[in-house]
Protein backbone atom coordinates (compact mmCIF):
# COMPACT_ATOMS: atom_id res chain seq x y z
CA UNK A 1 0.00 0.00 0.00
CA UNK A 2 3.03 2.25 0.31
CA UNK A 3 3.68 2.05 -3.42
CA UNK A 4 2.44 5.47 -4.42
CA UNK A 5 3.73 5.16 -7.95
CA UNK A 6 1.25 2.37 -8.58
CA UNK A 7 -1.60 3.34 -10.85
CA UNK A 8 -5.16 2.28 -10.30
CA UNK A 9 -8.00 2.22 -12.73
CA UNK A 10 -11.44 3.64 -12.24
CA UNK A 11 -14.51 2.85 -14.25
CA UNK A 12 -17.14 5.58 -14.10
CA UNK A 13 -20.62 4.22 -14.73
CA UNK A 14 -23.28 6.81 -15.40
CA UNK A 15 -26.73 5.45 -14.61
CA UNK A 16 -30.18 6.48 -13.52
CA UNK A 17 -30.22 7.18 -9.77
CA UNK A 18 -32.68 4.38 -8.97
CA UNK A 19 -30.24 1.81 -10.35
CA UNK A 20 -27.39 3.04 -8.15
CA UNK A 21 -27.36 0.02 -5.86
CA UNK A 22 -27.47 -2.43 -8.77
CA UNK A 23 -24.48 -0.67 -10.38
CA UNK A 24 -22.49 -0.65 -7.11
CA UNK A 25 -23.20 -4.34 -6.71
CA UNK A 26 -22.26 -5.01 -10.36
CA UNK A 27 -18.95 -3.15 -10.09
CA UNK A 28 -18.00 -5.16 -6.97
CA UNK A 29 -19.02 -8.37 -8.77
CA UNK A 30 -16.79 -7.31 -11.68
CA UNK A 31 -13.82 -7.14 -9.30
CA UNK A 32 -13.76 -3.53 -8.11
CA UNK A 33 -12.00 -3.07 -4.76
CA UNK A 34 -14.36 -0.30 -3.81
CA UNK A 35 -16.96 2.03 -5.23
CA UNK A 36 -17.87 5.65 -4.77
CA UNK A 37 -21.17 7.22 -5.79
CA UNK A 38 -21.81 10.84 -6.69
CA UNK A 39 -24.90 12.59 -8.02
CA UNK A 40 -24.82 13.62 -11.66
CA UNK A 41 -27.70 16.03 -12.07
CA UNK A 42 -31.02 15.28 -10.43
CA UNK A 43 -31.88 11.99 -12.14
CA UNK A 44 -28.48 10.33 -12.64
CA UNK A 45 -25.49 9.16 -10.65
CA UNK A 46 -21.86 8.44 -11.42
CA UNK A 47 -20.76 5.26 -9.70
CA UNK A 48 -16.97 4.86 -9.82
CA UNK A 49 -15.47 1.43 -9.34
CA UNK A 50 -11.76 1.23 -8.47
CA UNK A 51 -9.74 -1.62 -9.93
CA UNK A 52 -6.29 -2.89 -9.11
CA UNK A 53 -5.66 -4.27 -12.59
CA UNK A 54 -6.62 -2.72 -15.91
CA UNK A 55 -10.26 -3.83 -16.22
CA UNK A 56 -11.77 -5.27 -19.39
CA UNK A 57 -14.51 -2.71 -20.07
CA UNK A 58 -16.63 -5.06 -22.18
CA UNK A 59 -16.55 -7.65 -19.42
CA UNK A 60 -17.43 -5.07 -16.77
CA UNK A 61 -20.27 -3.89 -18.97
CA UNK A 62 -21.72 -7.38 -19.28
CA UNK A 63 -21.50 -7.90 -15.49
CA UNK A 64 -23.28 -4.55 -14.98
CA UNK A 65 -26.03 -5.56 -17.40
CA UNK A 66 -26.45 -8.84 -15.46
CA UNK A 67 -26.68 -6.86 -12.23
CA UNK A 68 -29.33 -4.59 -13.73
CA UNK A 69 -31.30 -7.65 -14.82
CA UNK A 70 -31.09 -9.16 -11.31
CA UNK A 71 -32.44 -5.90 -9.85
CA UNK A 72 -35.13 -5.65 -12.55
CA UNK A 73 -33.78 -2.60 -14.37
CA UNK A 74 -33.72 -2.14 -18.15
CA UNK A 75 -30.27 -2.24 -19.83
CA UNK A 76 -30.78 1.42 -20.79
CA UNK A 77 -30.57 2.35 -17.07
CA UNK A 78 -26.80 2.25 -17.66
CA UNK A 79 -26.13 5.38 -19.68
CA UNK A 80 -22.36 5.43 -20.16
CA UNK A 81 -19.10 3.77 -19.06
CA UNK A 82 -15.71 5.47 -19.01
CA UNK A 83 -12.28 4.28 -17.89
CA UNK A 84 -9.88 6.55 -16.10
CA UNK A 85 -6.43 6.08 -14.55
CA UNK A 86 -5.86 7.32 -11.02
CA UNK A 87 -2.82 7.55 -8.78
CA UNK A 88 -3.01 5.27 -5.77
CA UNK A 89 -2.80 8.07 -3.26
CA UNK A 90 -5.78 9.78 -4.84
CA UNK A 91 -8.27 7.31 -3.60
CA UNK A 92 -6.87 4.45 -1.57
CA UNK A 93 -5.96 6.51 1.48
CA UNK A 94 -9.17 8.51 1.22
CA UNK A 95 -11.24 5.41 0.80
CA UNK A 96 -9.62 3.70 3.76
CA UNK A 97 -10.18 6.74 5.90
CA UNK A 98 -13.82 6.90 4.86
CA UNK A 99 -14.53 3.21 5.34
CA UNK A 100 -16.94 3.13 8.25
CA UNK A 101 -17.47 -0.04 10.26
CA UNK A 102 -20.88 -1.58 9.54
CA UNK A 103 -23.01 -2.41 12.57
CA UNK A 104 -25.47 -5.29 12.41
CA UNK A 105 -27.08 -6.19 15.72
CA UNK A 106 -24.22 -7.07 18.04
CA UNK A 107 -21.74 -7.45 15.17
CA UNK A 108 -19.41 -4.73 13.96
CA UNK A 109 -17.81 -5.46 10.61
CA UNK A 110 -14.62 -3.51 10.16
CA UNK A 111 -11.64 -3.60 7.78
CA UNK A 112 -8.29 -4.86 9.16
CA UNK A 113 -6.90 -1.33 9.51
CA UNK A 114 -9.83 0.01 11.54
CA UNK A 115 -9.16 0.82 15.19
CA UNK A 116 -12.52 -0.33 16.58
CA UNK A 117 -12.07 -2.72 19.48
CA UNK A 118 -14.31 -5.28 21.07
CA UNK A 119 -15.69 -4.24 24.45
CA UNK A 120 -17.56 -0.99 24.26
CA UNK A 121 -16.47 -0.64 20.66
CA UNK A 122 -19.37 1.66 20.11
CA UNK A 123 -21.02 3.37 23.03
CA UNK A 124 -24.49 1.90 22.93
CA UNK A 125 -25.18 1.48 26.60
CA UNK A 126 -26.61 -1.95 25.84
CA UNK A 127 -25.54 -4.97 27.82
CA UNK A 128 -24.92 -7.40 24.94
CA UNK A 129 -21.34 -8.21 24.01
CA UNK A 130 -20.17 -6.62 20.84
CA UNK A 131 -18.40 -8.84 18.35
CA UNK A 132 -15.93 -7.26 15.92
CA UNK A 133 -15.43 -9.10 12.65
CA UNK A 134 -12.50 -7.96 10.53
CA UNK A 135 -12.84 -8.47 6.80
CA UNK A 136 -10.47 -7.31 4.08
CA UNK A 137 -12.82 -5.47 1.69
CA UNK A 138 -12.98 -6.12 -2.02
CA UNK A 139 -11.65 -9.68 -2.04
CA UNK A 140 -14.83 -11.75 -2.13
CA UNK A 141 -18.53 -11.27 -1.52
CA UNK A 142 -19.44 -10.57 2.08
CA UNK A 143 -18.09 -7.34 3.56
CA UNK A 144 -21.20 -6.57 5.56
CA UNK A 145 -22.45 -3.86 3.26
CA UNK A 146 -24.88 -6.06 1.37
CA UNK A 147 -28.48 -6.47 2.60
CA UNK A 148 -28.39 -10.25 2.30
CA UNK A 149 -25.28 -10.55 4.47
CA UNK A 150 -26.87 -8.31 7.08
CA UNK A 151 -30.12 -10.30 7.03
CA UNK A 152 -28.14 -13.51 7.60
CA UNK A 153 -26.12 -11.98 10.45
CA UNK A 154 -29.36 -10.94 12.14
CA UNK A 155 -30.79 -14.44 11.75
CA UNK A 156 -27.58 -16.00 13.12
CA UNK A 157 -27.64 -13.71 16.15
CA UNK A 158 -31.25 -14.67 16.72
CA UNK A 159 -31.20 -18.42 16.12
CA UNK A 160 -27.70 -19.77 16.61
CA UNK A 161 -27.37 -21.24 20.08
CA UNK A 162 -24.08 -23.06 19.63
CA UNK A 163 -23.54 -26.70 18.64
CA UNK A 164 -22.81 -26.95 14.94
CA UNK A 165 -23.02 -24.50 12.06
CA UNK A 166 -22.74 -24.90 8.30
CA UNK A 167 -22.14 -21.92 5.99
CA UNK A 168 -22.94 -22.72 2.35
CA UNK A 169 -21.39 -20.15 -0.02
CA UNK A 170 -19.08 -18.63 2.57
CA UNK A 171 -17.53 -15.89 0.34
CA UNK A 172 -15.28 -13.88 2.69
CA UNK A 173 -16.21 -16.28 5.50
CA UNK A 174 -18.10 -13.53 7.32
CA UNK A 175 -21.05 -15.65 8.53
CA UNK A 176 -18.89 -18.58 9.68
CA UNK A 177 -16.59 -16.13 11.49
CA UNK A 178 -19.61 -14.51 13.18
CA UNK A 179 -20.87 -17.91 14.38
CA UNK A 180 -17.39 -18.94 15.56
CA UNK A 181 -16.89 -15.72 17.51
CA UNK A 182 -20.32 -16.07 19.16
CA UNK A 183 -19.64 -19.63 20.29
CA UNK A 184 -15.95 -20.56 20.59
CA UNK A 185 -16.94 -24.19 21.30
CA UNK A 186 -19.19 -24.60 18.28
CA UNK A 187 -18.21 -26.87 15.37
CA UNK A 188 -18.23 -24.72 12.23
CA UNK A 189 -17.98 -25.84 8.63
CA UNK A 190 -17.89 -23.48 5.65
CA UNK A 191 -17.99 -24.35 1.96
CA UNK A 192 -17.83 -22.36 -1.25
CA UNK A 193 -17.96 -23.50 -4.86
CA UNK A 194 -15.18 -21.00 -5.57
CA UNK A 195 -11.81 -22.28 -4.30
CA UNK A 196 -10.36 -18.76 -4.33
CA UNK A 197 -13.11 -17.54 -1.98
CA UNK A 198 -12.25 -20.42 0.38
CA UNK A 199 -8.62 -19.22 0.56
CA UNK A 200 -9.76 -15.67 1.29
CA UNK A 201 -12.21 -16.91 3.92
CA UNK A 202 -9.42 -18.93 5.60
CA UNK A 203 -7.24 -15.84 5.72
CA UNK A 204 -10.07 -13.74 7.19
CA UNK A 205 -10.74 -16.44 9.81
CA UNK A 206 -7.07 -16.35 10.85
CA UNK A 207 -7.26 -12.57 11.02
CA UNK A 208 -10.16 -12.96 13.47
CA UNK A 209 -8.43 -15.61 15.57
CA UNK A 210 -10.90 -18.37 14.62
CA UNK A 211 -8.86 -20.05 11.88
CA UNK A 212 -8.55 -23.26 13.91
CA UNK A 213 -12.25 -23.46 14.71
CA UNK A 214 -13.64 -23.39 11.19
CA UNK A 215 -13.33 -26.25 8.76
CA UNK A 216 -13.22 -24.66 5.27
CA UNK A 217 -13.77 -26.72 2.15
CA UNK A 218 -14.09 -25.92 -1.56
CA UNK A 219 -17.37 -27.41 -2.76
CA UNK A 220 -21.03 -27.38 -1.88
CA UNK A 221 -23.63 -29.28 0.13
CA UNK A 222 -24.24 -32.86 -0.89
CA UNK A 223 -25.34 -36.11 0.71
CA UNK A 224 -21.92 -36.45 2.40
CA UNK A 225 -22.11 -33.11 4.19
CA UNK A 226 -22.41 -33.45 7.98
CA UNK A 227 -25.66 -32.11 9.37
CA UNK A 228 -25.66 -28.98 11.52
CA UNK A 229 -27.90 -27.23 14.04
CA UNK A 230 -27.92 -24.10 11.93
CA UNK A 231 -27.35 -24.11 8.19
CA UNK A 232 -26.99 -20.74 6.49
CA UNK A 233 -27.08 -20.44 2.69
CA UNK A 234 -26.73 -16.93 1.27
CA UNK A 235 -26.78 -17.80 -2.43
CA UNK A 236 -29.34 -16.83 -5.08
CA UNK A 237 -32.99 -17.81 -5.52
CA UNK A 238 -32.40 -20.29 -8.38
CA UNK A 239 -29.34 -21.92 -6.70
CA UNK A 240 -31.30 -22.31 -3.46
CA UNK A 241 -34.20 -23.96 -5.30
CA UNK A 242 -31.73 -26.45 -6.80
CA UNK A 243 -29.97 -27.19 -3.52
CA UNK A 244 -33.06 -27.28 -1.29
CA UNK A 245 -33.27 -31.06 -0.80
CA UNK A 246 -29.62 -31.21 0.37
CA UNK A 247 -29.96 -28.03 2.44
CA UNK A 248 -33.04 -29.42 4.23
CA UNK A 249 -31.29 -32.77 4.62
CA UNK A 250 -28.27 -31.25 6.38
CA UNK A 251 -30.11 -28.95 8.76
CA UNK A 252 -31.32 -30.45 12.00
CA UNK A 253 -32.35 -27.12 13.54
CA UNK A 254 -32.80 -23.90 11.62
CA UNK A 255 -32.16 -23.34 7.94
CA UNK A 256 -31.45 -19.73 6.94
CA UNK A 257 -31.90 -19.00 3.22
CA UNK A 258 -30.98 -15.67 1.65
CA UNK A 259 -29.81 -14.02 -1.54
CA UNK A 260 -33.45 -14.26 -2.52
CA UNK A 261 -35.13 -11.31 -4.25
CA UNK A 262 -38.73 -10.69 -3.25
CA UNK A 263 -39.71 -11.56 -6.83
CA UNK A 264 -38.18 -15.03 -6.30
CA UNK A 265 -39.75 -15.68 -2.91
CA UNK A 266 -42.83 -17.47 -4.20
CA UNK A 267 -40.81 -20.02 -6.17
CA UNK A 268 -38.62 -20.79 -3.15
CA UNK A 269 -41.64 -21.06 -0.84
CA UNK A 270 -43.55 -23.42 -3.11
CA UNK A 271 -40.46 -25.64 -3.47
CA UNK A 272 -40.17 -25.72 0.34
CA UNK A 273 -43.81 -26.76 0.68
CA UNK A 274 -43.32 -29.44 -2.00
CA UNK A 275 -40.45 -30.82 0.06
CA UNK A 276 -42.64 -30.91 3.16
CA UNK A 277 -41.10 -27.95 4.97
CA UNK A 278 -43.67 -25.63 6.42
CA UNK A 279 -43.42 -23.03 9.11
CA UNK A 280 -41.00 -20.36 8.05
CA UNK A 281 -40.27 -16.83 9.01
CA UNK A 282 -39.48 -14.04 6.57
CA UNK A 283 -37.44 -10.89 7.05
CA UNK A 284 -36.82 -8.32 4.32
CA UNK A 285 -34.43 -5.47 3.60
CA UNK A 286 -35.16 -3.54 0.39
CA UNK A 287 -35.87 -6.13 -2.28
CA UNK A 288 -33.85 -8.80 -0.49
CA UNK A 289 -35.44 -11.51 1.61
CA UNK A 290 -34.25 -14.00 4.21
CA UNK A 291 -36.29 -17.07 4.93
CA UNK A 292 -35.78 -19.02 8.16
CA UNK A 293 -37.13 -22.58 8.08
N1 LIG B 1 -21.82 -15.87 2.88
C2 LIG B 1 -21.34 -14.61 2.34
C3 LIG B 1 -21.17 -14.64 0.83
C4 LIG B 1 -22.42 -14.88 0.02
S5 LIG B 1 -22.12 -14.72 -1.74
C6 LIG B 1 -22.29 -13.49 2.79
O7 LIG B 1 -23.33 -13.79 3.33
O8 LIG B 1 -21.99 -12.31 2.58
C9 LIG B 1 -22.43 -16.35 -2.31
C10 LIG B 1 -21.22 -17.25 -2.36
O11 LIG B 1 -21.72 -18.55 -2.71
C12 LIG B 1 -20.19 -16.91 -3.39
O13 LIG B 1 -18.92 -16.82 -2.76
C14 LIG B 1 -20.24 -18.07 -4.39
O15 LIG B 1 -18.96 -18.44 -4.87
C16 LIG B 1 -20.84 -19.20 -3.59
N17 LIG B 1 -21.66 -20.18 -4.33
C18 LIG B 1 -22.45 -19.98 -5.40
N19 LIG B 1 -23.09 -21.12 -5.73
C20 LIG B 1 -22.70 -22.08 -4.83
C21 LIG B 1 -23.01 -23.45 -4.64
N22 LIG B 1 -23.86 -24.09 -5.43
N23 LIG B 1 -22.42 -24.10 -3.60
C24 LIG B 1 -21.56 -23.46 -2.79
N25 LIG B 1 -21.23 -22.17 -2.93
C26 LIG B 1 -21.79 -21.47 -3.94
Helix or strand or coil: residue 143? Answer: coil
Q: Is the pLDDT of residue 1 over 60?
A: no
Q: Which atom of ligand 1 is nearest to the CA of 197?
A: 13
* pLDDT the model gives residue 188: 97
* pLDDT the model gives residue 191: 97
Those residues with Cβ within 8 angstroms of residue 288's Cβ, 6 or more apart along the chain or in another chain: 147, 148, 151, 258, 259, 260, 261, 262
Confidence band, pLDDT 50/70/90 cuts, at residue 131: very high
151 touches 283 (CB < 8 A)? yes
* pLDDT the model gives residue 124: 47
Q: Is 190 in the pocket of ligand 1 (CB under 6 A)?
A: no
Q: Is the pLDDT of residue 196 over 60?
A: yes
* pLDDT the model gives residue 89: 61
Q: Is 24 in the pocket of ligand 1 (CB under 6 A)?
A: no
Give the pLDDT confidence of 209-236 residue by residue, as tens digits.
999 999 999 999 987 789 999 999 999 9
Mean pLDDT of the chain: 89
Q: Is 234 in the pocket of ligand 1 (CB under 6 A)?
A: yes
The sign of the CA dihedral 182, 185, 186, 187 is positive
Nearest CA, atom 1, ligand 1: 170
Give the pLDDT confidence of 73-117 residue by residue, as tens digits.
999 999 999 999 887 665 666 666 667 788 999 999 998 888 887
Q: Is 237 in the pocket of ligand 1 (CB under 6 A)?
A: no
**Distances, alpha carbon 221 to alpha carbons 124, 148, 168, 272, in Å:** 39, 20, 7, 17
109 touches 174 (CB < 8 A)? yes
Residue of 141, 168, 174, 290 best suited for mutating to test ligand 1, as the one with most atoms within 8 Å of CB: 141
Residue of 137, 151, 175, 192 best suited for mutating to test ligand 1, as the one with most atoms within 8 Å of CB: 192
Nearest CA, atom 3, ligand 1: 171
* pLDDT the model gives residue 95: 66
Q: Is the pLDDT of residue 2 over 70?
A: no
Bridge partner residues of 130 (DSSP): none
Amino acid sequence: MSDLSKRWHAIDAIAISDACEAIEYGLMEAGALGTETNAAGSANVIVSGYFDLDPDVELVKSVLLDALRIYNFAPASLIDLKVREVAARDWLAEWKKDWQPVEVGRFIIAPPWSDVTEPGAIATGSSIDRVVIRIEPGMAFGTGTHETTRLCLKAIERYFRGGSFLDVGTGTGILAIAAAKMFPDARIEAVDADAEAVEIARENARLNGVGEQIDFRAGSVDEQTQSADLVCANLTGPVIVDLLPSLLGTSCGHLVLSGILDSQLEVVQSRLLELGADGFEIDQDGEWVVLVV
